[in-house]
Structure 1
Amino acid sequence: MKKVSFTLTTIILMMSLFAVSAFASPEKENGNEWVRVLIESTNENAKNQAKEKYDVRHDFGKQGFSTNVTLQQYKALQNNKNLNVTKVDKVSLVNKPQAAADRSTAPSDQTPWGMEAIYNDNSITATDGGDEIRVAVLDTGSKTDHVDLEGNVEQCKDFSRFFFSRVDGSCNDVNGHGTHVAGTVLADGGADGAGIYGVAPDAKLWAYKVLGDLGTGFSDDIANAIRHAADQSLQQGVKVVISMSLGSSTESSLITEAIDYAYANGVLVVAAAGNSGPDADTIGYPGAVENAVAVAALEDVQENGTYRVADFSSRGNPDTDGDYVIQERDVELSAPGAAIASTWNDGGYNTISGTSMATPHVSGLAAKLWGENPGLSNTDLRAELQNRATANDILGGTGAADGDDYASGFGFPLAQ
């Protein structure tokens, strides 16, 4: 199957991946309405003049630069024939927070079903692995002082503030989604050993807040965070996995180019397929991008002798079934994503569903395998994940079939 380049309820009430994908809405400040724009031009003089007049938020080279302007300035810029000025689109969470009914102050199971499934061990009591690997979770932030996460936090950065391009040392998670994702990747049970475990509890967390408290963010900020993680990987000489449980129904060229940049510089990018299934060709971006590993969601239900792809999980392109090649609009891997318990932003725990929850299982597994095999390149690691998935085919759920299929991809990769 080929692939391409390029967001908390129960399963029944699962929100669509594409529900909140829209153009940037104005922000109000000092009586003015502001809007995020991307300014492009083949006229270098005109572009440089625009850079001097407006603050450059993110410079994307030939793709232009983003900045905040008032609505009045935006209208004036549109009349400049030497500039191409467009509003920056927004990207959202793959799903929304669910009601508090499933929250708890202590985990009912320290190794929830997703951990048992990916470790292929129903009696597992703790997980391990991920040494020296960094996982950049691009989401709503993270509760970095959660007892099960605080020992692994290495970076905490906010890319989501409208008038600040990046704030280091800040990644507060009002939403809860990002904390949940981070826990599935690398929760370590806490200092007292009484907490919950993620797939790779020895990995280090880079908590990058790219989405606001309501779960939406600008594509230029997300693209910048992806590039920043790749640059940090190069500067520090460390291996990095980027985990993104966010998306849109349309492709952002800024995000796609950033993923390509990260992948070319040794980073593995993992992204959610989306929650718009079970129809075919419902996969969202950036999961649909060729250089991102798109993850579908499994539920704890056996069908045809395997786990079942959840109905809400977005499907890929059925025309490429069976080719074992990844290209645009292909699902690549599957992992537990229904009724997943993990850390929450109140210091406790919550059980939620979605491909948002499947993604960090794969991100954590990537960190674990990379820690065990540090000589692998990011492309080698991706091939290893694919091989493990092929050895554990998924046959349950709409569209699932023998081998590579548009619902489960290559299958469900296991830790052992």
Structure 2
Amino acid sequence: MDRSAILRLLHSATSPSASAAKRRIVRFWHHSDYERFLLEWSNFDMPSEDASEAVRHLPSIEAFSLPVTSELLAIAPANGIWMENDPCVSVHATVHKPVAREKGIPWGVQEIKAPLAWSTTTGHRVKVGVIDTGVDFSHPDLKQSLGRGINLLNRGSLPHDDNGHGTHIAGTIAAANQLHGMIGVAPRATVHPVKAFDHNGSAFVSDIVLGIDWCVRSGMDIVNMSFGMKTRSKSLLTAVNNAYNAGVIIVASSGNDGKRKSIDYPARYPQTIAVGATNRLRRIAPFSNRGMHIDVYAPGDKILSSWLRGKYNEMSGTSMATSHVSGAIALLLAHRPGLTPTDIKAVVKRSMLPLRGTKTPRLTGELDVLRMLQAVER
């Protein structure tokens, strides 16, 4: 790859007209080309502070995300460059409504039998990276449950939640305010918020790749991914693979389109644990994607959890189901440290309770914490 091609890409990405170009992830056929691009980029004289934000380095997958015009896209193969879109991804939650403060244990936490396991394990010292919209650091139910995180949208700020979704997920995983508020699945686990999603609940794939990379480098045991998209991304798959090979368990939501044979990415990748949602009747929730790609179902309908400004909200979605599974795996890992992602997935699938109203009860089932703990004793 010659220097002029690199400079054309950088000049185009940082020009005033770049905002009209589509953001793409640029990867290289040869490692030497990546090194050359990295060198040119580090020496490149950015025209403004905004321009420097336009080019994102994704070191874990040896790539860059930047705006690329259609004209430059056409010359990519001749220069040893491989490009794919850097699309927007959305969180997997449907309607939500404020609720009055409700003390005690939410129905989903009870349903998966988490309280029956707390005499054995509470998730102590297990680190859960939550790639989401951030978290409400002042929420009384989360104060004991939060560890260091990162804000990928504004590196100088804490990962504060300006949407609510991330705070809701964190509460189900590890809320710990038994006397005055709610309690989550693994109340002694630590949630590390990774803010990759904006106030609308949207993120670029490149932000998620950076979030996964941070989780791997920061020693997370579990990564909760309550979001998805319809199209596959090689860059996202590479990042998921890197985490999987590093021993990090990735739990991902299947999507809320009510599809019977298809689920969203990254849940569809075999390196993740794909989660569908059930309701109080222990049936698959109508909105949940389902089918052979789902690894386990968990409560996801009308789930009460923490919200912004110390409040509570009821939400539905496969997002909510995913947080129950992340919490359950935290309980299992605290009890049996050292289990690999492959081990965990096998235990989850071996210990499911058959669902009501399904024709293939042996192939699919609902999360059950007690059965999980029993399964590792065998």
TM-score between the two structures when normalised by the length of structure 1: 0.75
Alignment of 1:86-125 (within 5 A): 86-96=84-94, 98=96, 100=97, 102-104=98-100, 106-107=101-102, 109-119=103-113
From the superposition, tell whether residues 31 and 284 of structure 1 become closer, same or farther in structure 2 (CA, over 3 Å): closer
2:46 aligned residue: none
**1:262-411 superposed matches below 5 A:** 262-277=243-258, 279-301=259-281, 307-317=282-292, 330-389=293-352, 392-396=353-357, 399-404=358-363, 409-411=364-366
Q: Which amino acid aligns with 1:393?
A: P
Partners of 1:143 and 1:347 within 8 A in 2: yes
Asked if the contact 1:394/1:400 (under 8 Å) is kept, the reply is: no
Distance 1:68 1:200 in 2: 39
Which amino acid counterpart does residue 158 of structure 2 have in structure 1? S
1:173 aligned onto 2:166: no
What is the CA–CA distance in structure 1 between the aligned matches of 2:285 and 2:331, rounded to whole Å?
Answer: 25
Where 2:305 maps in the other structure, the secondary structure is: strand
- Secondary structure of 1:334's aligned partner: strand
How much has 1:231 moved relative to structure 2? 2.1
Query: By percentage of residues, which structure has more helix?
Result: 2
Give the drift of 1:386. Answer: 2.0
1:172/1:75 CA distance change after superposition, 3 Å: farther
**Contact 1:156-1:168 within 8 A present in 2 as well:** no
Residue from 173, 198, 204 that aligns with 1:218: 204
TM-superposed CA distance for 1:225, in Å, is 1.3
Decide whether the 8 Å contact of 1:309 with 1:400 is kept in 2. Answer: no
CA distance in 2, matches of 1:374, 1:120: 18
Q: Provide the C-alpha distance between the structure 1 equivalents of 2:86 and 2:227, rounded to a whole number of angstroms.
A: 16
Structure ranking higher on relative contact order (CA contacts 8 Å, 6+ apart): 1
Residue 251 of structure 1 pairs with residue 251 of structure 2? no
Per-residue deviation at 1:90? 1.7
Please state how far the C-alpha of 1:216 moved relative to its aligned partner.
1.0
1:111 touches 1:126 (CA, 8 Å); kept in 2? no
Structure 1 residues 120 and 394: alpha-carbon distance in aligned structure 2, compared to 1, 3 A threshold: farther
CA distance in 1, matches of 2:37, 2:73: 9
Structure 2 unaligned blocks of 5 or more: 1-12, 43-54, 372-378
Report the equivalent of 1:57: 56
Tell whether the 8 Å contact from 2:121 to 2:332 is kept in structure 1 after alignment. no
Mapped to 2, the partners of 1:174 and 1:42 lie a distance apart of 39
What displacement does 1:357 show? 0.4
Task: Provide the rounded CA distance (Å) in 2 between the counterparts of 1:375 and 1:84.
Answer: 37
Equivalent position of 1:17 in the other structure:
none
Using the alignment, how far apart are the partners of 2:273 and 2:182 within structure 1? 26
1:241 corresponds to 2:241: no
* Contact 1:127-1:201 at 8 Å conserved across structures: no
Q: Secondary structure at the match of 2:348?
A: helix
Contact 1:91 1:219 in 2 (8 A): yes
Check if 1:153 corresponds to 2:146: yes
Among 191, 195, 199, the alignment partner of 1:209 is 195
Unmatched 5+ residue regions in structure 1? 1-26, 234-238, 302-306, 318-329
* Larger displacement relative to structure 2 (248-257 or 47-56): 47-56
Change (3 A) 1:76 1:30: closer
* Separation in 2, partners of 1:188, 1:88: 37
Distance 2:94 2:234 in 1: 25
Check whether the contact 1:393–1:412 (CA below 8 A) recurs between aligned residues: no
TM-aligned CA deviation for residue 208 of structure 1: 0.5
